[in-house]
Structure 1
């Protein structure tokens, strides 16, 4: 077992990483079950692939569970589903002392965390992420949200989990495309401030996708350690440190908007394309060596990820994509901060990017 602490002054919590953790998760969750019962939120895919084993280990520990199932994909992160979920929680007589279990990927974790934040003015919740993207990114750090007509994650709150339980063996249930989407977020940590980790990802890509348990565990642990460190330094993005985690997301969210927040483009795929775009835009501005941008694109392409607008299935022009960006929640006083790079492992936050130039750059990428 590897235990990583998120050292927040008022509500620290631990992240447990261990292969096979799901098999005895009931024993771990016993202290979180009120009167021998817990409430579980999952989605249609996880309900088939993981939930039966999860319920069995709960029964072995003497824990009953009631389960709410969301639609799979981004459709599960809407106002409609939030209303359904909160109504269900109230029907289940949820109490503020309860710990709601989020068993699933990023969508499940995001909406469950947000529901836990607002129900009865705040319940606790536990993250059990079942996708690589959720294990290395969305389950850690307390960002919760739903999507709205205006864009992705625009309605939400910071609400830290009480515990995060990560079982790398769950990755064996994922289709290759979903595994690749999560790998984009793994690579991100190398691009932010750890060139050696980027090189680890490049050197071990074949082993990672081939199912090597040690390489997968190392990638997860190093990613979570990076995120825990950044979150502890800047929980709510007050200093700009946590904003580094948004590398690729400003471009990526615009690509997701253009593709209708659908399975046409997974979130991790959008982030991959967004990171490649951010590095090429940094080259355009004279900030980053062209070879570094090429190396980033090559690694992502080796993982089967999109690195261009056409590969991402995006046909909108630059002005349209920039209009999507104007809805970004980081917009302040008419200015949108961008994550740019001086090289691999040298990401920084720029507040003087001209959006008209971004539009022209995107037109040149079409």
Structure 2
């Protein structure tokens, strides 16, 4: 029996009204102190026809910030700023998970509150640039994390998860993808440690497992998800020939925690996807970058995924599900307004009713 993407789903201890998820997307519209901006509740509330809203990455500490104007989830002000977002999402019957994003080496001192160097598994820069208040600058060589730094980072993820629940979120998603700190531990060209966190597959997966365990212990496994992007080269990472086996090991270990979900950014390794599907016993969310509109629902129907996540379609179409049902034309996203700014390209994308009135 096939499953329809429009049907409800059980995620941890909650019910989703459908099997659509909004993928987390950095929008760089937070206030200077990391509090979500004044339009954040409207932005997420507009899109809460989807069953699950996964909010943009929020840094768990000052050290976790990499980009300008990204939100945090580690102070009282941050918690207060996220509460209206949770209320707006819940008012439309959707559920909210806040992504916890520690960028590691993908940082610059000019972008952080304390103006310190970022840290990483090893003191290796990604040979890339990052946008700062004075324009693009090379990402500096990070400082190598001590074992004490690793323990502090794990504790920061734990505390940020607690703060997200205080803010009214239904759970958190640990960001283990897209070239940031957790994935930096996976990649041999970013992790050249000789201690318990480097070298073997088991060692390179150790930090991710420690973070997941700490967050699940703090807020409950049924409120904890994790995002992975096997094979992704963002941030200059190269996972090498052992990469697929590292993910098989990692997913096997994480499966034992009973987490709410695993969110995969799938880049085309179908054999690995099939293996992960067979290993993972909880909800699997699949995000296929560039997925064609005609393919919406196919991964749920085939059983390879339980939920499908969408990014730019949802960014540009607050009424994405209405457009799918009616066959109406889809708005195209405006890349120039992705990061920073105000209402334009954020909360002003037209919905069908407005377009009909204009015509």
Structure-2-length-normalised TM-score = 0.28
Structure-1-length-normalised TM-score = 0.27
Work out which structure has the larger RCO, using CA pairs closer than 8 Å and 6 or more positions apart in sequence. Answer: 2
